[in-house]
Amino acid sequence: MRYFFLAALLPCFAYGQGTSHQRRQVALQPEVQAQVLLSQGAYVYAAFGGVRYTDYTSASTDRTLGLDVRYAAAGYEAPLRGYKWSWGATVRVAGTQGVGPVVQPGLLLRHRSELGPLVLGQRLGAEYAFSKDFRLDPAYNIASSYSAVSPFLLRLRLDLFPAKYFQVVNGLMVRPRVSFEPALFLRLQRDENDPDKRTIDFTSLRADVAFRIEKAKLDIAPWFALQTQYLRTVIQTDPNGNPTSNGKLNSVLPTVGLELRYHLWQANDVLLPELSTQH
């Protein structure tokens, strides 16, 4: 697992000298989910959500349902070799004004290890986008300012959370969680005319708190994330032709989200399964 940690440190090298930084206004991301427990710890889920960008002011912007980006997702996950390992398959369909629909299926491998009272999760995902225009990446629901250089997306997520929920009052439990996820477009072969790219294309640093209402079989999870795109731009120069930038731009999108997650399982189940807060 040490290689997962080394890969997660790659974005630290994206903040070189001369790199420009942009901080966008806060985006809002609601999502509703339904999860169904299957036999032997496997489960399926379906989700619908979207993103509202507060820095979009154009009257011509398509805001159906009040959202600038709308998406639907579904997935399956099953354990491998007990609790620590699992695998799964996902699919996401997303669209926004002038872009989409983008269909992005993927495969994932997840590992969990115990660190005292905490659990360290590691999720490796590989996804492929089917679309004539790859400007929308449904993994992060960002309408990119440039066309993606590859339909292949590779993601690694590290998360840390308590092994058990904390009981607040009878019937109400809570569990916090933090996660960090770098992602990159995987280009196996580059043609001469292909645009240059950064090593890491996206990162997401997220914190959430899941409130579980047992009788209602419902989780309510507010979260906050800093989602960053690492872009290539035109190198700026001074009047004498000396470069004043290195042609790199880090664009940060603060995002506030709310997930409503409904669990479906048999009433005689002893325990509600410890399903993932973030798929």
Question: Which whole number is the average pLDDT over 98-112?
Answer: 87
Q: Select the more confidently predicted residue: 232 or 11.
A: 232
The tokens describing 182, both together, are: 């770098």
| Distance, CA of 26 to CA of 259 (rounded, Å) | 17
| Distance, CA of 274 to CA of 165 (rounded, Å) | 9
pLDDT of 173 > 80? The answer is yes
Q: Select the more confidently predicted residue: 17 or 279.
A: 279
- The enclosing H or E element of 111 equals strand 99-115
Residue 276 lies in a domain: no
pLDDT of 242 > 50? The answer is yes
- Of residues 122, 121, 72, the one with CA closest to residue 95: 72
**Spatial CB neighbours of 224, under 8 Å, sequence gap ≥ 6:** 206, 207, 208, 254, 255, 256, 257
One-letter amino acid identity for 170? N
Q: Which domain holds residue 239?
A: 2-264
Residue 9 lies in a domain: yes
Q: Select the more confidently predicted residue: 274 or 107.
A: 107
pLDDT of 270 > 60? The answer is no
Q: Confidence class of residue 9 from pLDDT cuts 50, 70 and 90? A: low
Question: Which whole number is the average pLDDT over 261-277?
Answer: 61
Count structural domains, the chain: 1
* Integer angstrom CA distances of residue 63 from 25, 96, 102, 122: 17, 9, 18, 35
Residue 269 lies in a domain: no
> Within 13 A of 258's CA, how many CA atoms are on the CB side?
4
pLDDT of 102 > 90? The answer is no
* This prediction's pTM: 0.83
pLDDT of 145 > 90? The answer is no
Residues in the chain: 279
Residue 17 lies in a domain: yes
Residue 197 lies in a domain: yes
What pLDDT sits at residue 48? 95
Least confident of 124-138, 147-161, 218-232: 124-138
> Within 13 A of 16's CA, how many CA atoms are on the CB side?
13
Q: Which residue has the tokens 């440190």?
A: 9
Residue 248 lies in a domain: yes
| Distance, CA of 43 to CA of 177 (rounded, Å) | 21
Identify the three-state secondary structure at position 173. strand
The alpha carbon of residue 180 and the mean position of all alpha carbons in its chain are separated, in whole angstroms, by 9
pLDDT of 134 > 70? The answer is no
pLDDT of 257 > 60? The answer is yes
| Distance, CA of 77 to CA of 85 (rounded, Å) | 10
* Integer angstrom CA distances of residue 98 from 27, 104, 132, 140: 19, 18, 12, 18
